[in-house]
Amino acid sequence: MKTISRRDLLTKASWFGTTFAVGLPLAAKAAEPAQSQLPPATKPSLKVVVTGGHPGDPEYGCGGTVARYTDLGHDVVLLYLNKGEWTDRPSYDPGPVRVAEAKKACEILKARPLFAGQIDGKAIVDAAHYHQFHQLLEAEQPNVVFTHWPIDNHPDHRAISLLVYEAWLRMGKKFALYYYEVSNGEDTLQFAPTHYVDVTAMEPRKRSACYAHASQSPDKFYALQEMVAKMRGLESGHKQAEGYIRHVQSPDFQLPLAS
Ligand SMILES: [Zn+2]
């Protein structure tokens, strides 16, 4: 006879129950959380913030996971470090186009876009921007934040990873912190996932959200990211998966992540 653990009872009795309803496996390898770590039972959903250096990064790296979260009724914000604009090239200012593309991608994923106000290719990480970014995340009160893995060939990706990390420290490490990959081998490097999310069923929506960034060569970059998703799928036993690295000190909220 199957033993029902305290965790099973808790999950079935609370907002985690929805994860069972659709068969989403939990992060089974994570440690048993203390009850004090669990969100209040009255809170109906998670606040999830997926940060990216540019419009499109969260969609390419985490689009399938975002779709799974929003389908479960969780509140997801895609927080972009910049609007993809190049102010040093006034004759070519794609900012408004990139913003419109980001809004369309968010509509497809049922997420909300948010912009941190920096300039594409000119990311600044200093005391003032640590403060500003901390305030931004503090206002969102996330349960979970996803950000770029910091070993990355793009300075904007590295920048937002550092900004998130500092905010996480200043907020007492109270939200779960996960790292994701984009264009592994071209941008992200040395990425070895600790968690996988099966995104096979979400592939059409993820593809649509990525292709919403029509000005950003989606034929090239989606093909590259799809190779990554298939590789992570091979590793984890799915057709396509998104891989994540959980920060070792991240609180365990029993996220609806694949094992
Ligand atoms: Zn980027």
Q: For residue 95, how far is its CA from the centre of ligand 1 (angstroms)?
A: 14
Overall residue count recorded for the chain in this entry: 259
Q: For residue 231, how far is its CA from the centre of ligand 1 (angstroms)?
A: 20
What single string gives the DSSP state of each residue in 181-213? -SSTTTSB-S---SEEEE-GGGHHHHHHHHHT-
Q: For residue 120, how far is its CA from the centre of ligand 1 (angstroms)?
A: 9
Task: Name residues with Cβ closer than 5 Å to ligand 1, which is an ion.
Answer: 53-54, 57
User: What does the angle CA 89 – CA 91 – CA 92 come to, to the nearest 5 degrees?
Assistant: 70
8-52 pLDDT, tens digit each: 333 333 333 233 222 223 333 333 334 444 444 455 689 999 999
Tokens of 244: 């994540």
Q: What does each C-alpha distance from 67 to 82, 107, 181, 183, 217 come to in angstroms?
A: 22, 11, 17, 20, 22
The ranges of the chain with pLDDT < 70 are: 1-44, 87-95, 254-259
Tokens of 214: 């029509």
Distance CA 15, CA 42 (A): 9
Distance CA 163, CA 247 (A): 15
Q: Give the model's pLDDT for residue 244.
A: 95
Q: Give the model's pLDDT for residue 36.
A: 43
